[in-house]
């Protein structure tokens, strides 16, 4: 990475964003501006990107990006009590990433409570961002644009639902509490895509005023069961349905056969973003330019909303610093968000994604009774592979060549802990740590039918 790239990343400016090609954000396309504006040429005024590269950022693009809602780490929020056998709230890194006086005071006066989510809450924050942008679209439409000098009362109402207090429906506190009840996850533990999807589904169901009528999640694939969706639209043809897919598209990196489909999903008008990123470091992806995903980074910390006036809090929940990451550098685990508003959108969505290798439309879900003879508990023999005669030789499986004998764009290094597998109509489950309750599956293709 050159020096200009490093400077721009530190300042939250996307380098050469406007000269590398069109930018796509949830159904909107923004063409590049390759020259300085007439005003800049006369006055010499420009952004740092303009000074470095002689380009001007597209104002319509910036307005769209700035209008997206996103959330970051917060400090000094109302306390979350630790579990007796859960992680400790006392974290040495807090002294560097939070006010050290506040950190020391919390450690001395209430060492058994979390006052910040620094170091463990990034996936919750990106999940909140995904959900907030879905609600924004339902309540205010895709055309909504923020005026940064004043508060939009309608949008402020929905943003306030995410404030860090148990009394707000989509707070970090309620994400933590919901998953504690569902899976036994403890405060301070890092959420994965599946845990985030489960929390969103539960919280949306408990707060119908958000405007999302139904939330359908898949924590093993991106399969959509048409009878399930049809039932919703039969009851209400104008229903707003949020689809959440917690999936894994590779072992260490996203398999290159899925790149085109990921870009198509995030650029479509149905997308409300992707919560993904790098291992143990979640980012909120909201668009792309060429093969680069545009993202907000939740890892910068801000004060609790209780320490801010209304306008400052409102502004703190909108993105103005963003960057890009090449899709080849992205972790394969992610949470994809799709919003379908009404039966007509559902029909067009099916037509647009009929040939997508990630999203699959199935008539109905198989009866769970088909799997009653399999023990799917963690560590069981059936857990490793269903309907497969591949021997279990380790904790990890490298699916290798997946489609039509085509290799990945960058060859994977051979590792004695991995085994190349020929995939044929089988469900392969990747279990990184048998002690972990969250299990992820890798999407594979049936190469024999090609």
> What phi, psi does 447 have (nearest 5°)?
-70, -20
122 given a catalytic annotation: yes
The set of residues, in sequence order, having a beta carbon less than 8 Å from that of 8 and lying 6+ positions away, is 14, 15, 48, 49, 52, 323
Which of 98, 297, 331, 398 is labelled catalytic?
Answer: 297
The DSSP bridge partners found for residue 289 are 23, 292
431 given a catalytic annotation: no
Instruction: Measure Cα distances from 73 to 122, 145, 307 in Å.
Output: 7, 24, 14
The set of residues, in sequence order, having a beta carbon less than 8 Å from that of 18 and lying 6+ positions away, is 32, 33, 34, 49, 55, 56, 57, 58, 61
Q: CA-CA distance, 71 to 99, in Å (whole number)? A: 19
Using DSSP, state whether 53 is helix, strand or coil: helix
297 given a catalytic annotation: yes
- Name the DSSP letter for residue 20: S
Instruction: Measure Cα distances from 355 to 237, 296, 361 in Å.
Output: 25, 29, 10
Q: CA-CA distance, 314 to 303, in Å (whole number)? A: 13
Which of 122, 210, 317, 431 is labelled catalytic?
Answer: 122
Which of 83, 223, 261, 299 is labelled catalytic?
Answer: 299
Active-site annotation, residues: 122, 297, 299
């Amino acid at each position: 990475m050159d020096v200009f790239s490093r400077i721009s990343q530190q300042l939250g400016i996307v380098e050469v964003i406007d000269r590398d090609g069109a930018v796509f954000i949830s159904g909107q396309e923004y063409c590049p501006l390759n020259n300085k504006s007439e005003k800049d040429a006369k006055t010499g005024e420009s952004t740092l990107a303009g000074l470095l590269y002689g380009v001007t950022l597209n104002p319509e693009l910036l307005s769209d990006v700035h209008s997206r809602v996103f959330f970051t780490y917060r400090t000094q929020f109302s306390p979350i009590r630790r579990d007796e056998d859960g992680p400790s709230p006392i974290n040495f890194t807090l002294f560097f990433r939070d006010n050290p006086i506040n950190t020391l005071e919390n450690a001395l006066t209430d060492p058994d409570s979390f006052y910040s989510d620094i170091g463990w809450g990034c996936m919750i924050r990106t999940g909140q961002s995904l959900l907030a942008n879905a609600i924004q679209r339902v309540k205010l439409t895709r055309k909504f644009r923020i005026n940064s000098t004043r508060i939009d009362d309608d949008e402020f109402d929905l943003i306030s639902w995410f404030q860090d207090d148990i009394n707000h429906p989509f707070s970090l506190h309620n994400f933590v509490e919901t998953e504690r009840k569902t899976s036994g996850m403890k405060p301070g533990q890092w959420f994965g895509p599946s845990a985030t999807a489960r929390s969103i589904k539960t919280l949306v169901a408990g707060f119908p005023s958000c405007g999302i009528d139904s939330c359908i999640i898949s924590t093993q694939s991106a399969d959509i069961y048409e009878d399930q969706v049809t039932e919703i639209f039969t009851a209400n043809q104008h229903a707003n349905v949020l689809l959440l897919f917690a999936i894994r598209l590779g072992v260490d990196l996203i398999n290159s056969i899925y790149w085109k489909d990921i870009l198509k999903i995030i650029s479509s008008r149905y997308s409300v973003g992707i919560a993904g990123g790098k291992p143990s470091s979640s980012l909120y992806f909201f668009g792309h330019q060429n093969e680069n995903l545009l993202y907000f980074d939740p890892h910068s910390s801000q004060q609790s909303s209780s320490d801010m006036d209304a306008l400052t809090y409102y502004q703190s929940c909108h993105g103005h610093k963003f960057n890009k990451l090449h899709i080849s550098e992205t972790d394969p685990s992610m949470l994809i968000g799709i919003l379908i508003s009404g039966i007509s959108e559902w029909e067009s969505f099916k037509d647009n994604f009929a040939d997508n290798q990630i999203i699959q439309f199935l008539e109905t879900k198989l009866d769970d009774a088909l799997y009653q003879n399999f023990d799917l508990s963690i560590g069981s023999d059936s857990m490793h592979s269903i309907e497969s005669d591949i021997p279990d030789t380790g904790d990890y499986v490298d699916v290798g060549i997946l489609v039509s004998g085509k290799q990945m764009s960058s060859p994977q290094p051979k590792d004695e802990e991995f085994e190349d597998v020929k995939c044929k109509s089988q469900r392969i489950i990747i279990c990184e740590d048998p002690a972990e309750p969250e299990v992820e599956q890798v999407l594979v293709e049936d190469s024999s039918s090609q």
